[in-house]
Amino acid sequence: MAAPNADERKACWDARDSLWKCLDDNNDKSASCQSFQSEFESKCPAQWVRYFTKRRDFLKYKEKLESEGFTPSEGPRQPS
């Protein structure tokens, strides 16, 4: 598969941005954003779709850590 040209990259990024805005506006309820998801998947290479999906998950996780702070789990107890 050839690398996307500038117009194809822009179309992909625009589709990604539209999907992410829809998800943000709908509290990450993907059912409400199915048309945006379909457009995103059709305009972007599959590898990019996987990357951008993981990237969004990471950014959301990072945002949560920054706003709520880190709480370590109890974990196993160490013998005394």
CA distance 43 to 37: 10
Name the residue ranges covered by the structural domains of the chain. 8-51
User: Which one is predicted more confidently, 13 or 66?
Assistant: 13
Number of helices (H) and strands (E), helices first, in the chain? 3, 0
DSSP 56-73: HHHHHHHHHHHHH-----
pLDDT of residue 20: 95
Condensed to tens digits (0 to 9), the pLDDT of residues 31-59 reads 889 999 999 999 999 999 999 999 999 99
When pLDDT is cut at 50, 70 and 90, the band that residue 3 belongs to is confident
Residue 15 has pLDDT above 90, yes or no: yes
User: How confident is the model at residue 78, as a pLDDT?
Assistant: 67
The whole-number pLDDT of residue 71 equals 74
